[in-house]
Structure 1
């Protein structure tokens, strides 16, 4: 059964999405949606070299994503204000290095997603030899604040979620 449906929840989500997009429960749509729901996860399997992520604290993930959404909205407002009202000479764009403890590739992927979605920041590189995150900040005023925020507000919860580390 695992070979036919490697990701049953993903298959179910794909089938439901197909049916919703077509706004039909016709037999043809059920059949085509089912075929897509079976084939797509099998084709996507090579894209997951580390296998499926095991969530140790899924409710913490929901809380973290809510907090990240608010931070993204806040950053949108700040970056818009800077672009529209600030003088270019007053900007302090810099790269900073943030040492990471997290080892989970899934946690690192979520961290990368959060950082890439946040206006004013860009994930530049994860240095594997020093296990540091190199981050570009559009208007940097306090590098230590960025380091503390990413480590405490994002890395620690992600380690609890994906690695099961204690709080």
Structure 2
């Protein structure tokens, strides 16, 4: 199925063209209309297809979980930064094996892993079988992997696969 350019995008491009030129002369209106038609046509093949989002209840639970984790982790990182310690938190690289294969799900997982303070998505294996995360303050790597998969990967698999 061939996708059609967005009417909102076309209108926005035309308005943007007119604002940039600071004119509504007939020639500028003509060029704005041309830009509004031609640019979306050439850009349409670049737009990726939308992801198959299923199970809105799982999406809602995941959003709440990530929100909670962001706040809790930010407080923990802030507390660790403000309290003097004899030993600062140790950063480690942890490889997490993945079952998730959907590209939209992997993109969502990358955002989640990076938005939670204290963790950062650093590398995805070429075959998408594992992700390398940099995390702070992890004592038990196996428990972290189990928790990461249960909290984030499994719900994303329910949503996207």
TM-score range, shorter chain: 0.7 to 0.9
- 1:41-80 matches, within 5 Å, as 43=43, 46-48=46-48, 51-80=49-78
The match for 1:3 is 4
The aligned length equals 138
Matches within 5 A, 1:111-130: 111-129=109-127
| Partner residue in 2 for 1:141 | 139
CA deviation map 1:26-81 (0-9, x unaligned): xxxxxx9xx98xx7798475152xx2101121221121011100100000000001
Moved more, 138-147 or 61-70: 138-147
Determine the structure 2 residue equivalent to 1:158: 156
Give distance in 2, aligned partners of 1:98 and 1:161: 20
Q: C-alpha separation between the residues in 1 aligned to 2:52 and 2:89?
A: 41
In 2, Cα distance between equivalents of 1:79 and 1:52: 35
Between stretches 88-97 and 135-144, larger displacement belongs to: 88-97
| Higher Rg | 2
- 1:87 match: 85
**Following TM superposition, where does structure 1 have runs of at least 4 consecutive aligned residues deviating by more than 6 angstroms?**
39-42
Give the 3-state SS of the residue equivalent to 1:81 in structure 2. helix
Compute the displacement of 1:102 (Å). Answer: 0.5
Return the alpha-carbon distance in structure 1 between the equivalents of residues 81 and 45 of structure 2. Answer: 42
Aligned to 2:104, the other structure's residue is in SS state helix
Structure 1 position 87, deviation (Å): 2.5
Give 5+ residue unaligned stretches, structure 1. Answer: 16-31
1:89 partner SS: coil
3-state DSSP class of the match of 1:101?
A: coil
SS at match of 1:152: helix
